[in-house]
Copies of this chain bind each other. A is one copy, B any other.
Amino acid sequence: MTTITVAVAGASGYAGGEVLRLLLSHPDVEIGALTAASSAGTALGAHHPHLVPLADRVLQPTTTETLSGHDVVFLGLPHGESGAVAAQLGDDALVIDLGADFRLESADDWTEFYGGEHAGTWPYGMPELIVGAGRQRDALAGVNRVAVPGCNVTAVTLGIQPAVAAGLVEATDVVAVLANGYSGAGKAPKAHLIASEALGAASPYGVGGTHRHVPEIMQNLRRAGAGEVAVSFTPTLVPMARGILATTTARLAGGVDVAAVRAAYEAAYDDEPFIHLLPEGQWPTTAATLGANTAQLQLAVDERARRLVVVSAIDNLVKGTAGGAIQSMNLALGLAETTGLSTIGLAP
């Protein structure tokens, strides 16, 4: 096929760097402009020493001029900046926003959780999302805009959506608690993100329904078929660089047993190339997903508490961000969905 030229805005950050790491293995892609804000003019190798083949590339400023002329543009920009850039790039380019600006359908949700004016809604880049009788991938063919889901949202949605869609649990009683690696918090130095505070410690953030990923999870569960939805969501930072381990539980609907649940998950995911329901008795570890576009899952039914418990593991930067983004890029461009993406993690 023809080579696809790709630009990455925000290439010095973790999301942009991860897009580049994956694109370097993509057979159909040529990496074009790499842009940044305050880091413009410096070598990429100073920011991402692991990207050896691109070490000498110099970051350009993020402008319409530097980004235009590419088939695909990935945007790893601060909240609120993607819309203006995309508008200037025109409709010919496929613009994939790694940020949050275009994920939500509800302007009210946007205003409540992010503040300011809602920029709009782009096709949602979660191919495996259950939408009625189909999947969200059906809506991604040929699009020229993609909103990449939040990393926590991916972990929780993939974990619980088969049970919600099949009506096996009460969507009004969903509780998700996550163990999160630090790279999800980005690369900007902040007091609570320094290593001395992180090492040997676990702590929560965004507790009590205030986290910005809450409305996005609820939106997904509604699309997967739920009526009323209530999700309690608590992420916790634990001392690892990458990875999300999401424990999502929901009250079982009456009469549901483990066989019914397992059957629903197998039906939902057996054909999914990037979702790996583990053999019974084996539980996910985030280590197995590092660097891979895989979600690993296992489930249990707690008969005493009458709850389903699903544990899902992903790499927040891959399946949770850059890998999911490239998966959507492949779909949008008509490439095989798995092109350039791996299910093989780096462990131990």
List the interface of chain A (C-beta within 8 A of B): 14, 17, 21, 24-25, 43, 45-46, 48-53, 55, 173, 175, 177, 179, 181-183, 185, 187, 189-191, 193-205, 207-210, 214, 230-232, 234, 236, 238-243, 245, 247, 249, 251, 276, 278-279, 282-292, 294, 296, 298, 300-307, 309, 311, 313, 342-348
Contacts and interface: CB of A to CB of B under 8 A. Distances in A.
Copies of this chain per assembly: 4
12 contacts: A50-B288, A50-B344, A175-B307, A195-B199, A199-B239, A201-B347, A202-B313, A208-B309, A232-B249, A234-B249, A239-B239, A239-B240
A348 B199 contact: yes
Nearest to A180: B202
Most-contacted residue by chain B among A51, A201, A232 (CB, 10 A): A201
B207 A182 contact: no
Contact of A287 (B52, B200, B232, B305): B200
A315 to B, nearest CB: 9
Contacts of A204: 245, 247, 283-284, 311
A254 to B, nearest CB: 15
A289 B50 contact: yes
A179 B179 contact: yes
A299 to B, nearest CB: 8
Contacts of A182: 194-196, 199, 348
A290 B346 contact: yes
Contact of A202 (B187, B190, B197, B285): B285
A294 B207 CA distance: 22
A186 to B, nearest CB: 8
B247 A236 contact: yes
A289 B51 CA distance: 9
B302 A208 contact: yes
Given A199-B348, A234-B247, 6 more contacts: A21-B346, A182-B194, A182-B199, A201-B348, A202-B313, A241-B287
